[in-house]
Structure 1
């Protein structure tokens, strides 16, 4: 906690520990690790300049790390310019060190990186940001330009990792050398919010109503449930984001949804519910069907159990995020066949899921084996992340459909695969040489498999992570798994051993 008075006010019996500033030796060691980490030999002149700037940071760790990250990417002559600029800004002792260092750093960023950093101000304080969610938002906002060599999602990840390299963002969770979640330091978040307001980039609300011409508005808490219908409407609004805590009153609710924002591109209603005539309504308000420019629709943890037919009006929709830990299954038929711009579809689609031209689709989680059998698999050439399961529909009878890996072999860009099905053919015969998953790095199987294929290393040559759940294994799986050349993570969960020690 940064404010000592607040910490002491929580409980007078609690001692509030005051963190000290670093000594110069500690500061220099921290700076060296970050600024000179990739250098074989450190120039004496650079050391001298570095020590001069470290002295000006006054022992503040955040300022030292941010400054070092900036300098690590600069040439020798640029170090001199940075030192001069920093000294000029710090002549007045009233100027905060970290703010001054950040201003220098922000100025030298290219435009795409500035937009990505400022966008982090939309997330609540100390919020663990899922990198995949962030990537999808950045793409939908239009911050990421198309590139011939990289997908927009890969380019967005590159920018996020660059922010991490610059020590502006902290990598929170890393799996197999890949950042899965990140967090922004609260001091840097404060600076980002300040800069975003100066540039009229985003406006963050709490419990107060106000009007603004800003194109992005964010609410972290809905204290007044008339927020959406009482305040003045900014007709030019492009993004509207809510961060609730899950369905119900604690996450927030609205009595009506009357905003008609024809230019809206991003709408995240995470954790909200809709109240009509005093009762909760478990469906989307019809006005959302009029948002024809929408690229991103987030309805996770909103209590929905179906998606209305007007979803087909959103012809430019790229991301439909209906996931979430407390989200319900969609048991009726969901028709997305007219949405040809879809890149990411997330939710539990128990009923039939209709998908049309899916050439842009990269994420599909999760779909029933029955719905999967009806898709044109050859059109899913860009699919990277896939989850398939057997469903038990209460709305209509659908039989469990057998699934084999041959139907998945056409997905040449597949990276992550999760199968939660009872009937599928994993035991490929030796003659089926054509079935290969050259790029698959993560495989999760939740089913009763008795034996793993002996040529699994040939089927999945790039596999890095394998998770098997709920199987009764007749043979020691390690005899097969030890052959996988790139396997790093292995999880055998609720798997039972039914072979004897002599047989093993």
Structure 2
């Protein structure tokens, strides 16, 4: 957390120093003090990055001091904003603006500097000593004792599918090249149990003359690992195989060159650790069937040690969870119905995490076997598990060794409610608003790193295989909340608090993010006190209007609320706003009116990056607007007239979604040919409801930059597909609700002029609700296609057999009710498997 606050403070100070000097004057003395603070905090941030282990002792002090400094700085900006707003009002009534410098009280900043300066000096001294030692980092302490294998009891519940696959890799090809078999998964999911089960398997023991189990934890020493490995191997070989005078490394190399071996490397935390120890394992090109099994939480490590995909372990289902609990807690007896009900609640509370189930089973088996005792345990299963030191230690390691720049992102995710499915697109916007990351690409990179460490669990994918949503296992979430409390992080973040008025009493002056998930109109009452708020999400409140204090939140970067709700002209006061989200709230489930009217002042927000709403009219700029140069997302807007002026005002858009109504505005010219002027556009959705626009000659011209195109309700003739087929970057094409109309679509005719130039990068094709009867095509027309979805295409009875010859094809999804089409697709699949040995999946919808 210290790193996150330091990074955020640097951004805040830079923003202050870059303020318009005329609009927000700062005295020379004040500017110098702010620059001194900047220099100190940059020193601290550099140390936190370069010396993560040594930084641990500074974590609390840095977090507290940097938090306090940022509060002072942002209050400073807020007071400037308030002064400037007051001056504007005075000028409006004819009173002159006072242009003198603001005399800000820097006594609080001086107090913060007195805390930060000695921290920076101590860090600088540690760094100087390290640099004097030729750049060598200060040594970290670690145990020199051999690392024994963990306690183990063979329990194969839920492991059967993994066991078979891994055993086949180990024993299936005895003369094959040495292979490395990685096993990944979150902490506590059973990686070590799986590896141990394989290690002790009778067939494996028979197949491998020598075996060894070593643990390479975070505080490993290479010499200790080598010594432990040699000790295990020497007991399994003839005494004269190695010369006692040789070095440990040479002995290992000789043994593992001459003997077929199985080595389990358990708990590997880093690629560096693997690079340090792999030289002991002999020739990697030996062809005697030797194997190395590696367990790790980090998929980056797995991909580093092996080019083969890892065996990623998933959470247990309810059946296996119950079987495991019964086996561990009460295997020899049946439970009374009331006791069984409690035990089932315990299983649910463990969330499918094997380690949690095993530990809770130990607690239950040691408690009195009555409903009162077990009921107390069931009330807070997660707390009971975390009271076990070993469980908490294993889970917390995932955070302890998380890079400092990823920690605030993870803690932020831990603030979401239990079982809440987090939309990735929203999460990325929140991270950016908080200042954890600079842009979307960096956010995606951070998310990928967290996913590889098995902290968030991906719950769904987009059609282009990018992450769509995720959640966090309850046990991991609780660990994150515990860390947040330890690091004083809760002063910045409130997710799901039912009443902001009560929250304001504790954290009004420090809170940066506030997200609500419960309908509660009163929750907006305390907003005027949250002067430093950056994120406000009140989509699910019962309020029908935003209170005036919202528009005084000068630091606000992300604002989300529920519609229908008026967006007043005062929105333009939020000059730092990046994301404005207007979504249907829970109270709208039976509400017919979901319109949102945006004011003309929306064009006066230069930093606006994402404007996401539902069925909004984007106001006519009327010639007085300036371009929204930062705007990347505009979705969903209705009746957008794509004039050259309008396209010029939003020319940097990457994502655009428009809905038109065919039964309204019959004489309107939407000028859709000007869509081609959006030369940065990557995702476009065009929907027509209630009628058609074709009689109005509304023919869109698509920019060549498109990667994803969704069309719905247009009823284009299939001949018009030629323009889409030629888009050079298109990867996803979704055709919904008779987007194209007619009985036949032939890409062969489209290809008559330019052989092989159709759909060159298309990976995903969806046709949903269509009257298509015949689809003629060739494999060369969809060379990159991986997935096809054909839904509610009742008249389509078969597809071209040549589709099966597309080398990239992995999946075809078809309505189970369309038996003829399903039979056609299955026949293509079977032919490919029998004749060419190729496999793709057919899934029934």
Superposition TM-score, scaled by structure 2 size: 0.43
What is the CA–CA distance in structure 2 between the aligned matches of 1:170 and 1:176, rounded to whole Å? Answer: 18
What is the CA–CA distance in structure 2 between the aligned matches of 1:469 and 1:333, rounded to whole Å? Answer: 33
Contact 1:337 1:355 in 2 (8 A): no
Structure 2 CA distance for partners of 1:189 and 1:500, relative to 1, 3 Å: closer
DSSP 3-state at the match of 1:485: coil
DSSP 3-state at the match of 1:75: helix
Question: Which residue number corresponds to residue 191 of structure 1?
Answer: 479
What is the CA–CA distance in structure 2 between the aligned matches of 1:371 and 1:107, rounded to whole Å? Answer: 56
Contact 1:296 1:318 in 2 (8 A): yes
More helix by share: 2
Once the two structures are TM-superposed, the CA of residue 183 in structure 1 deviates from its matched residue by: 1.0
- Alignment of 1:34 with 2:184, yes or no, is yes
Contact 2:414 2:480 in 1 (8 A): yes
- Alignment of 1:226 with 2:509, yes or no, is no
Question: Which residue number corresponds to residue 437 of structure 1?
Answer: 727
**What CA deviation, in whole Å up to 9, does each residue of 1:205-258 have, x standing for no partner?**
5234122112122222243x22223465121111112352xxxxxx53256512
- Alignment of 1:495 with 2:782, yes or no, is no
What is the CA–CA distance in structure 2 between the aligned matches of 1:206 and 1:171, rounded to whole Å? Answer: 25
Structure 2 CA distance for partners of 1:496 and 1:179, relative to 1, 3 Å: same
Contact 1:70 1:166 in 2 (8 A): no
Superposition TM-score, scaled by structure 1 size: 0.68
Structure 2 CA distance for partners of 1:226 and 1:258, relative to 1, 3 Å: farther
Question: Which residue number corresponds to residue 9 of structure 1?
Answer: none
Contact 2:398 2:453 in 1 (8 A): no
What is the CA–CA distance in structure 2 between the aligned matches of 1:168 and 1:25, rounded to whole Å? Answer: 26
What is the CA–CA distance in structure 2 between the aligned matches of 1:124 and 1:372, rounded to whole Å? Answer: 45
Alignment of 1:297-446 (within 5 A): 297-302=580-585, 303-323=594-614, 329-330=615-616, 333=619, 338-352=627-641, 354-366=646-658, 368=660, 371=670, 373=672, 375=674, 377-378=676-677, 380-390=678-688, 400-403=696-699, 407-408=701-702, 410-412=703-705, 414-422=706-714, 424=716, 427=719, 436-446=726-736
What is the CA–CA distance in structure 2 between the aligned matches of 1:490 and 1:127, rounded to whole Å? Answer: 30
- Alignment of 1:469 with 2:768, yes or no, is yes
Pick from 429, 432, 443 the counterpart of residue 136 of structure 1.
429
Question: Which residue number corresponds to residue 237 of structure 1?
Answer: 533
Once the two structures are TM-superposed, the CA of residue 163 in structure 1 deviates from its matched residue by: 1.0
What is the CA–CA distance in structure 2 between the aligned matches of 1:448 and 1:255, rounded to whole Å? Answer: 41
Question: Which residue number corresponds to residue 257 of structure 1?
Answer: 547
Pick from 409, 415, 423 the counterpart of residue 116 of structure 1.
409
- Alignment of 1:100 with 2:404, yes or no, is no
Alignment of 1:194-205 (within 5 A): 194-197=482-485, 198-199=488-489, 200-205=491-496
What is the CA–CA distance in structure 1 between the aligned matches of 2:757 and 2:456, rounded to whole Å? Answer: 39
What is the CA–CA distance in structure 2 between the aligned matches of 1:33 and 1:479, rounded to whole Å? Answer: 42
Consecutive unaligned residues of structure 2, counting only runs of 5 or more, are 1-150, 163-180, 186-190, 200-209, 221-265, 278-295, 297-385, 586-593, 662-668, 800-823, 825-845
Question: Which residue number corresponds to residue 214 of structure 1?
Answer: 511
Range with greater deviation from structure 2 (382-391 or 260-269): 382-391
- Alignment of 1:294 with 2:577, yes or no, is yes
| Number of residue pairs aligned between Structure 1 and Structure 2 | 414
Structure 2 CA distance for partners of 1:399 and 1:105, relative to 1, 3 Å: same
Once the two structures are TM-superposed, the CA of residue 300 in structure 1 deviates from its matched residue by: 0.9
- Alignment of 1:47 with 2:206, yes or no, is no
What is the CA–CA distance in structure 1 between the aligned matches of 2:595 and 2:721, rounded to whole Å? Answer: 43
DSSP 3-state at the match of 1:466: strand
DSSP 3-state at the match of 1:210: helix
Question: Which residue number corresponds to residue 154 of structure 1?
Answer: 441
DSSP 3-state at the match of 1:360: coil
What is the CA–CA distance in structure 2 between the aligned matches of 1:304 and 1:182, rounded to whole Å? Answer: 30
Consecutive unaligned residues of structure 1, counting only runs of 5 or more, are 1-21, 54-67, 83-92, 146-151, 245-250, 274-280, 324-328
What is the CA–CA distance in structure 1 between the aligned matches of 2:417 and 2:512, rounded to whole Å? Answer: 19
What is the CA–CA distance in structure 2 between the aligned matches of 1:429 and 1:127, rounded to whole Å? Answer: 40
Once the two structures are TM-superposed, the CA of residue 184 in structure 1 deviates from its matched residue by: 0.9
